[in-house]
A and B are shown apart, each in its own frame.
Chain A
């Protein structure tokens, strides 16, 4: 029997409504299509502040935070950046709540030398108002900008190599963190690939360290990167994190949230269309019609305007690995839906947001990240789609970039992709030179642009999907050039896309729809007990 989140379409089923960027579109899928919906949101904690206090006073695998504190010590607090959660959460962000409790305890123990670093790695710097949203007015007013700031992976004077793994992976970290008596990492674990050793070993590192695992060889070895136990990326990061923790005294605080991404009255977006009442269905139809007519900036403004009402479902503190084990359990509890068997065709709507375009347009490279990267990787066990199968996405693939955040992406997409789509070739021939582009580095350091190495990482993010999938077909593209650059076929509608997925053969297809957002993951088992890689 199917899990309640798995629905099989019947002849009389309503059309499905999928995201196509910042539009909503109706698609007709054949009877027999298996639709995977997000689980209902987990019940949030009733008293989050009490849970935070309990966690730091009853940590896993180490002594309580207060026992580590002494007057005059140097403490660095590192925080996850704007890439999580998506969209940003309603105030107060759980990081603000953790900071209040932690800073109070530090003050009680006479700790004054405190700096708070946003662990951006090579992501864009957060803007003042975004930091304020995340940490709250009190912390922002007291610490920003001198003692609350973004990590700068290109500030060579303030980066220090602490060692390397047995495989030669260099661990280079933020000097302030390395030279602190204690590093407190405050995480918000949005998806299972977040957190754990990734927090410090990636969040506070630079390009030298990132290239050890953010490369096509490692990314091909992720099955999937949402399942740390089967992820080459997670394994490499763990090796490096262990080295980091030998040199730094790290106290990890991890938090989990439920999947309540949409507030009332849009909560129904995560439901089965056939379960919507008449009012909800009419509202959904109206949304489809409205987003089809509104100009793009207005659509983006609407989605930007509403932070998500995520509820906090867990807080765990202590030793990094012990903490993360608990965090992952909570994450999987929220997202994982048991699925039997793989599909010939996986259908997915591409939403308006990814971890890398908060308050910016989802450009073509990020469409690829969501399609062959994040959505393809939403599995444990075996991919949702068979080897050589087809991924059908809905998105306009507009040739548009945010000139501030994604300046290096433009060159990557328009200069390099026309040369080759081969990730190995891009890595070998272009990456190192591109990564040291002084103009883009300046935009990363002083502006709000992603580091010039980042577009390469984004391409590698889709590498496992590219290796596995036979083809990707995009429905509703507004141009032919971008899909071609990305290696996609185009189809004017879902019917045509499904016809092409058959490749001209007269056969029926096993079709699975991943109805996201909010996030849902498939815990996929394949008949016979194995998994079809």
Chain B
């Protein structure tokens, strides 16, 4: 048996990691808390922009530090709303069909994303079931510390977790597929026998052409 590994943001849904975070920040328990959270996040924006270009892992860590102080209960309760209002409407029109074709081919469906696991779980249910490998917030006394538990899922780390997952589940990586939109996911794409570029950014599109990787677009709903 093989697996199909899907990046999520930009690959299956039109949103990125920032969109759900903004939703969380704008929906704090009081207007003052919202104001404070958004203000702090804005202060970090230039740093995040620089990190996005340099190191995806640092970007993720900076972004998720905005969650510091949010209660676990609130995160879970709001997750349904984030999914319904942010992720689901942004899902690409034929993303579910692509996943279904992979399932029809007998593949295990695995979502590998920098998104939070609690959101990925909802997405997995929506697409008819999938294994999830996502980022997890560290909690202390039921409150997010703003740090991520290791391993932080980003860039080359995705390749490592895919390798581990395939080994643990008896998948031959040569038979496995990976789908992503981003050049930062080249390690993840390179580790499988069947990489595919979905809605690729410019650098990934060039690379995919050079290596004859299948390349296609999933259109917005």
Contacts and interface: CB of A to CB of B under 8 A. Distances in A.
B216 A403 contact: no
B93 to A, nearest CB: 9
B219 interface: yes
Among A154, A401, A410, A438, chain B packs the most CB atoms within 10 A around the CB of A438
Given A438-B98, A442-B216, A403 B209 contact: yes
B214 interface: yes
A403 B215 contact: yes
Interface string B139-157: 0000000000000000000
B94 interface: yes
Contacts of B97: 445
A437 interface: yes
B56 interface: no
Interface in A370-419: 401, 403, 407-408, 410-411, 414
Contacts of A436: 101, 104-105
A438 B219 contact: no
B66 interface: no
A439 B196 CA distance: 6
A425 interface: no
Contact of B194 (A154, A410, A439, A447): A439
B102 interface: yes
Contacts of A403: 209, 212, 215
Nearest to B195: A439
A154 B101 contact: yes
**Which among A407, A433, A442 has the greatest number of chain B C-beta atoms within 10 A?**
A442
Contacts of B94: 442, 445-446
Nearest to B218: A446
Interface string A438-477: 1111110111010000000000000000000000000000
B216 A439 contact: yes
Contacts of B219: 446
Interface string B12-54: 0000000000000000000000000000000000000000000
A452 to B, nearest CB: 9
A438 B215 contact: no
A5 B219 CA distance: 53
Interface in B123-171: none
A222 B185 CA distance: 48
Nearest to A155: B97
Interface in A290-347: none
Chain B residues touching A, majority SS: mixed
B216 A438 contact: no
Interface residues of A, number: 21
Contacts of B196: 439, 442
Contacts of B67: none
Contact of A438 (B4, B209, B217, B218): B4
Given A403-B212, A437-B105, A446-B94, 13 more contacts: A403-B215, A407-B212, A436-B101, A438-B102, A439-B179, A439-B214, A440-B214, A442-B94, A446-B216, A446-B218, A447-B216, A447-B217, A449-B216
| A contact patch SS | helix
Contacts of B209: 403
A325 B194 CA distance: 46
Nearest to A401: B212
A427 B39 CA distance: 62
Given A439-B179, A446-B94, A407 B214 contact: yes
Nearest to B98: A442
A411 B102 CA distance: 18
A446 B196 CA distance: 14
B217 A446 contact: yes
B212 A410 contact: yes
Interface string A112-143: 00000000000000000000000000000000
Interface of B: 4, 94, 97-98, 101-102, 104-105, 107, 177, 179, 194, 196, 209, 212, 214-219
B214 A443 contact: yes
A410 B194 CA distance: 12
A-B pairs, top 9 by smallest CB distance, nearest first, are A439-B196, A439-B214, A438-B101, A436-B105, A438-B102, A410-B212, A443-B216, A447-B216, A407-B214
A447 B212 CA distance: 15
B175 to A, nearest CB: 8
A207 to B, nearest CB: 12
A440 B94 CA distance: 14
A447 B107 CA distance: 23
Identify the interface centre among A433, A436, A439, A445: most chain B CB within 10 Å of its CB.
Answer: A439
A442 B177 CA distance: 13
A154 B209 CA distance: 25
Contacts of A154: 101
Nearest to A407: B214
B153 to A, nearest CB: 22
B147 to A, nearest CB: 36
Residue from B94, B97, B219 whose CB has the most chain A CB atoms within 10 Å: B97
B194 A437 contact: yes
Contacts of A410: 212
8 contacts: A410-B212, A411-B212, A414-B212, A437-B105, A438-B101, A438-B177, A439-B194, A442-B101
Nearest to B103: A438
Interface string A182-215: 0000000000000000000000000000000000
A443 B105 CA distance: 16
Contacts of B212: 401, 403, 407, 410-411, 414
A441 B99 CA distance: 11
A441 B217 contact: no
Nearest to A403: B209
Contacts of A408: 214
A407 B208 CA distance: 11
A447 B214 CA distance: 11
A445 B218 CA distance: 10
A178 B215 CA distance: 33
B120 to A, nearest CB: 20
B177 A439 contact: yes
Nearest to A154: B101
Contacts of B101: 154, 436, 438, 441-442
A505 B69 CA distance: 89
Nearest to B93: A446
Contacts of A433: 105
A408 B219 CA distance: 21
A124 to B, nearest CB: 13
Nearest to A406: B212
Contacts of A437: 105, 177, 194
